[in-house]
Amino acid sequence: MSMTAMTDVTPDNQAPLPAAEPTDRRVVENAVLQEVPGLVTELGGTAVGNTKSENPFMVAEDVNVYYGDNHAIQNVSLEIGKKEVIALIGPSGCGKSTFLRCLNRMNDTIETARVTGNITLDGKDIYRKEQDPVALRARVGMVFQKPNPFPKSIYDNVAYGPRIHGLAADRAELDNIVHSSLERAGLINEVKDRLDEPGTSLSGGQQQRLCIARTIAVNPEVILMDEPCSALDPIATARIEDLMDELCEDYAIVIVTHSMQQAARVSKRVAYFHLGLLVEVDETDRIFTNPQHKLTEDYITGRIG
Amino acid sequence: MSTDRTTRQKVEAGLPRRRRKEFTFKMLGMLATAAGILFLGVFFASLIGEGASAFKQTYLQLDIELSEDVLAPGGELDLAYADFDGLVRAALRRELPDVSGRQERRELYRIVSIGASYQVRDLVAGNPDLLGTTQTLWVPASSNVDMLIKGNIDANVEEALRPLSDKQIAWVEALREAGRLETRFNTALFTNGDSREPELAGIRGAVMGSLYMLLVTMMLSFPIGVAAAIYLEEFAPRNRWSDLIEVNINNLAAVPSIVFGLLGLAVFINWAALPRSAPLVGGLVLTLLTLPVIIIASRAAIKAVPPSIREAALGLGASQTQVVFHHVLPLAMPGMLTGAIIGMSRALGESAPLLMIGMVAFIVDVPGSLTDPATALPVQIYLWADSPERAFAERTSAAIIVLLGFLLVMNLTAVILRKRMERKW
């Protein structure tokens, strides 16, 4: 699909969506994702609903991301509250993961990526010159789509973050951090007797909880989760979702998900992305019961894949 | 559903052709593999058939009278001037008392190697108290006798056309019947340096030269190669310069090795004035030769580390250097080591660049340091293959067998290292 076509879209009064009840989903998806004429002008850089949070902790303003010539995210403004779970939903390639990766500057590792706009964490710009991305990522942790434990022991997996950041003065303290992190990730009972075994020997769901334990071991303030359950079965998914319920007492959680049920279950607010644009943000209940934008409605009712 | 049937019919109609193609391809593959195995088999069979006999050597048993009159005529033993040769000859004459006349005696002396007198000298030097006693020694026979015993000289050929005369053959026969002649394991092959006498020539000098060179090559090319690969893969910006460097490294890997020899001659010997024929220079040249191989293999190994591991570490707040040294390098190490060992085995088998830096000289002494004149195993093979004596032919094959043995060990090491260090993720 072409993003440039989106930016210099010709104003046109066509309905943004094809007729209802499509017979072939894929065709519709392509059709929709290729052209939603007038969407940029219609949104005018502000999403429908309420992008503000009562107690904002991370604030993104007018964020644009370019991968080379590809304008991947356009004028996204969103507030993320303290100790709140916010879900980013939208069809594939809509920029939700890209936005997520802006929040801990993981996009820095992609050479062609360029980020403009303003993102603050606790009032401070995270893209300012003095900000070391290494320090930022200790505050904004990340859990990835595919469980990716290091090919080391379970203990070393969790201890890695505290070690590189020098969080523990001695072995006892490190043991303590590892133990409590595994406990909070709900994994301790399953692994307490086999901490020396490789992290990769665990099952997929356990590996993902190990990754969460690894992330919370450095005591971050925000946890970013990029489709953390997409590679897991329903039981493992349920466990992770329960875990998120507990974790949001201490952390702000931003989760990208393709499962609307999951978004409905775990999040307080939901942001709907479409083709690099933030279309609608609101309380979860309102998004799923009374979406204001046509695109949001089509997506949550399953008309856009 | 007529369309269904036609589809099925079309598929079925095409099946025999597909099967035929598959069969042909399978047969071709099997033929190719069989041809490869056949060539390998012929190669090994001829090599071992030719070279196996070099691991044996014919020895003569002589009772050598360590007479004080001969060795220490003034009452003082002088190892440099003592006539050990005379003792050996006297022992031979005692063994075959019928030999008479200058001409015949001269012929007789040629059945024993000149190494025999060195052996006697070493014995006396090691234990001067033996003076005045008679010692029974096994001394090497000359290479012609050795060839006769091994059946490489045909006694039925006209006398003038073979290196041993009828008389000599008769003496050898007599000695054999008296139990004075035996073939034993050829230790000289492994303990001696090069020699003009085949029965005394060994590969020790060449092996040591090769080992010293490989030591230099490994110490230099592995760290430099890995560091370059890490920098190019993980830190260098991607632009026209890095593209240029990449293309050049790939090209360097394909440069004929003799060119590196010329470079080594110009830079290390002519400009830097390092000694000629030295393993140090050989090692430097081979370093240049193996560097591209190691860089390319190491970059491939680094590229094979899954990005998810990097992301995991970056996401935890590891710096780029920490990601590389804590995660990428341990996972890439087996691949890097394999590349390095393969590069090393290529270096071990290389001879052309060494010819350019003087390592092709005839060197008898076993090198004891990096700057001693030395030669290398492949060059030794080249030198021996060039020698006219029949006995060098089998030694050439034997040296090749030893070289192949080293290569096999190195490649096995690479496989074992890779298997042991490989980590699953």
In whole angstroms, what is the distance from residue B213 CA to residue A91 CA?
61
Give the distance from residue A150's alpha carbon to the nearest chain B alpha carbon, in angstroms.
6
Partner-chain contact A161 B317, CB within 8 Å? yes
pLDDT digit string, tens, across residues B18-41: 999 999 999 999 999 999 999 999
pLDDT of residue A232: 84
In whole angstroms, what is the distance from residue B125 CA to residue B139 CA?
17
Partners of residue A149 in chain B, C-beta under 8 Å: 312, 425
pLDDT of residue A9: 35
Q: Give the pLDDT mean for B176-181.
A: 90
Q: Where in chain B is the domain with CATH 1.10.3720.10?
A: 204-421
CA distances from A79 to A54, A89, A122 (A): 9, 15, 11
Kindly tell me if the per-residue pLDDT of B425 is higher than 70.
Answer: no
Which of A100, A126, A134, A221 is the best substitution to test chain B (most B C-beta atoms within 10 A)? A134
pLDDT digit string, tens, across residues A72-85: 888 888 999 988 99
Please name the residues in contact with A95: beta carbons below 8 A apart, sequence gap of 6 or more.
A65, A72, A73, A76, A273, A275, A276, A277
Phi-psi region at A45: left, alpha or beta (left = phi > 0; alpha = psi -120 to 50): left
Domain boundaries defined on chain A: 42-149+220-300
pLDDT digit string, tens, across residues B93-106: 988 888 888 888 99
Which residue in chain B has the smallest CA separation from A200?
Answer: B425
Residue predicted with more confidence, B77 or B339: B339
**Closest Cβ–Cβ partner in A111, A137, A150 for B317:** A137
End-to-end Cα distance, chain A: 15
Task: Say what the ipTM of the complex is.
Answer: 0.80
pTM of the model: 0.81
Q: Give the pLDDT mean for A176-196.
A: 90
Degrees, nearest 5: CA angle B180-B173-B160: 135
B309 shares contact with chain A (CB less than 8 Å)? yes
Kindly tell me if the per-residue pLDDT of B140 is higher than 60.
Answer: yes
Please name the residues in contact with B159: beta carbons below 8 A apart, sequence gap of 6 or more.
B165, B166
Q: Give the pLDDT mean for A259-286.
A: 89
Please answer whether residues B280 and B274 qualify as being in contact, where contact means their C-beta atoms are separated by less than 8 angstroms: yes
Please answer whether residues A208 and A236 qualify as being in contact, where contact means their C-beta atoms are separated by less than 8 angstroms: yes
pLDDT of residue A5: 38
A144 shares contact with chain B (CB less than 8 Å)? yes
Tokens of B172: 């050898």
Cα dihedral sign, B144-B149-B152-B157: positive
pLDDT of residue A131: 87
Kindly tell me if the per-residue pLDDT of B204 is higher than 90.
Answer: yes
CATH of the domain spanning A42-149+220-300, picked from 1.20.1260.10, 3.40.30.10, 3.40.50.300, 3.10.310.70: 3.40.50.300
CATH number of B204-421: 1.10.3720.10
Cα dihedral sign, B290-B291-B293-B297: positive
pLDDT of residue B390: 87
Phi-psi region at B101: left, alpha or beta (left = phi > 0; alpha = psi -120 to 50): left
**Closest Cβ–Cβ partner in A143, A144, A164 for B317:** A164
Residue B76 three-state SS:
coil
Residue B343 three-state SS:
helix
Give the strand pairing for B56-65 and B134-140. antiparallel
pLDDT range class, residue B270, cuts 50, 70, 90:
very high
Residue predicted with more confidence, A97 or B26: B26
pLDDT range class, residue A14, cuts 50, 70, 90:
very low
Strand-by-strand arrangement of the A48-49 sheet: A48-49, A277-283, A269-274, A85-89, A252-256, A222-226, A140-143
Angle between helices B307-315 and A204-216 (to 10 degrees): 30
pLDDT range class, residue A207, cuts 50, 70, 90:
very high
| Mean pLDDT taken over chain B | 90
Q: Tell me the one-letter amino acid at A13.
A: N
Kindly tell me if the per-residue pLDDT of A17 is higher than 50.
Answer: no
Alpha helices in B110-181 (DSSP H): 115-126, 143-149, 166-177
Q: What are phi and psi of B258, to 5 degrees?
A: -65, -25
pLDDT range class, residue A29, cuts 50, 70, 90:
very low
Please answer whether residues B368 and B288 qualify as being in contact, where contact means their C-beta atoms are separated by less than 8 angstroms: no
